[in-house]
Amino acid sequence: MQIESIQNSRVKEWSSLLEKKHRDKHRKFIVEGVHLVQEALKAHADIECVAFSLERGIPSELARAAADSLGVEWIGVSEAVIAKCTDTKTPQPVFAVIRKENVSPARLFEQPDSLVVVMDGVQDPGNVGTIIRSADAVGAAGVVIGRGSADVYGPKVIRSTMGSLFHLPIVEGDLKELLPQAKERGVRIAGTSLQSARSCYEYDFTGAKWLVFGSEGGGLSKDTLALLDDAVIIPMKGQAESLNVAMAASVLLFEASRQRDFKG
């Protein structure tokens, strides 16, 4: 199949997915570029179609996938269609339209003693994507995106994850409901606090833990702070006042991984 006109009804729907309200309405999102399309295919994401440049052809890295991926529609499109449906200044030769997965919070409780990352109003897309990537790197059981955080399915967040959003469950929800549910199941809720005297290197990250990270400017919300079981601080020898939230999350996640997976 080929589509060359930007007036085509499917193209109009695809291009609308650059806006959150339309991603929510259609329950779909777009990933751009060879690497992210590869990751989506490897993860058996619910792909509606893959659109590739008629002028440049199916990228060689995806040629085998195009032959083997049953149930995925491959559509040749014009450069004008690619430009209309993608977010990058220099459009990639391929993009995929993917249906959102409804991930139940129950998925986060399937593994005993699991490590889960929670974002409470993290608004910068790059930070949200990087935290998801770090969570994936340490083998976390999942990620919770609380209200007020950047849309995980926005183009900038997706690019920052480098494909990690396909590797672990991501739950969107209200932390005022999800955090108490976790506590009822014996999970301890931990977060950073500049007022805490407990170093993260002295804290016990083993067992069922949800690590919560707050907004870049205000930190954790009052509601979330009230639900914390443990507060820790990242000790800093130098003069920097604080760390970027994605950097702080990575420090804590890798300390948790060291304690949980690299004992002795």
For position 199, what pLDDT does the model report? Answer: 93
Provide the CATH number for the domain around residue 187: 3.40.1280.10
Residues 198 and 121 in one domain: yes
Tell me what the mean pLDDT of segment 230-234 comes to.
93
For position 251, what pLDDT does the model report? Answer: 96
Provide the CATH number for the domain around residue 81: 3.30.1330.30
pLDDT tens digits, one per residue of 75-134: 999 999 999 999 887 878 999 999 999 899 999 988 889 999 999 999 999 999 999 999
Instruction: Report d(CA 69, CA 47) in Å as an integer.
Output: 10
Residues 93 and 148 in one domain: no
pLDDT beyond 80 at 197: no
Instruction: Report d(CA 94, CA 78) in Å as an integer.
Output: 11
Q: What is the mean pLDDT of the chain?
A: 93
| Among 210, 223, 216, residue whose Cα is nearest residue 247 | 216
- For the chain, the straight-line distance linking the first and the last C-alpha, in angstroms and rounded, comes to 57
Residues 36 and 163 in one domain: no
Instruction: Report d(CA 91, CA 83) in Å as an integer.
Output: 6
Residues 46 and 83 in one domain: yes
Residues 249 and 149 in one domain: yes
pLDDT tens digits, one per residue of 101-110: 989 999 998 8
Residues 236 and 137 in one domain: yes
pLDDT beyond 70 at 264: no
Residues 111 and 6 in one domain: no
Tell me what the mean pLDDT of segment 37-54 comes to.
94
pLDDT beyond 70 at 221: yes
Cβ contact 128:122 at 8 Å? yes
What range does the domain containing 230 cover? Answer: 105-261
For position 260, what pLDDT does the model report? Answer: 94
pLDDT beyond 70 at 66: yes
Q: Look at the chain and report how many structural domains it folds into.
A: 2
Tell me what the mean pLDDT of segment 39-53 comes to.
94
The tokens 């997976």 sit on which residue?
261
pTM of the model: 0.93
Instruction: Report d(CA 143, CA 133) in Å as an integer.
Output: 10
